[in-house]
Amino acid sequence: MGAFLAAAVLGFVDKQGYEIPVIPMLGKAGTIAVAAWAAERYAKAGRWAGELATGAGCIAVYEFVTKGSISGPEGAPGYVAGF
């Protein structure tokens, strides 16, 4: 369920054109993963946050392995251009 939830959140953010604050080195998916993990760990947000963190983390790893970078603001400090 986590991957589906993460894909839905990322798709909604992209489709609506929302600009979310992004940690440049982590990109959108990685930033969402860290935020969801922190919400589960420290804010006791519940199981959904942990599943979202896992799914978004998987998407970030997939992006890095396939493209050599994680989607985010290109040229920003910490942007991973590739390997």
- pLDDT tens digits in sequence order for the chain, 83 residues long: 878 888 888 889 888 988 888 887 788 888 889 999 999 889 888 888 888 898 988 888 888 888 776 666 555 544 554 44
Give the whole-angstrom CA distance, residue 47 versus residue 50: 5
Check if the beta carbon of residue 69 is closer than 8 Å to that of residue 81: yes
Confirm whether pTM is higher than 0.95.
no
Domain assignment of residue 76, yes or no: no
Q: Which residue range is the domain that position 63 belongs to?
A: 2-67
Domain assignment of residue 73, yes or no: no
Q: Say which amino acid occupies 51.
A: E
pLDDT of res. 38: 92
Domain assignment of residue 83, yes or no: no
Give the whole-angstrom CA distance, residue 43 versus residue 65: 31
How many domains would you assign to the chain? 1
Domain assignment of residue 24, yes or no: yes
Tokens describing residue 34: 């860290």
- CA distances 6 to 11, 22, 50, 81, 82, Å, are 8, 16, 11, 23, 23
Domain assignment of residue 13, yes or no: yes
Domain assignment of residue 44, yes or no: yes
Domain assignment of residue 75, yes or no: no
- Selection from 53, 49, 71 nearest residue 62 by Cα: 71
Domain assignment of residue 78, yes or no: no
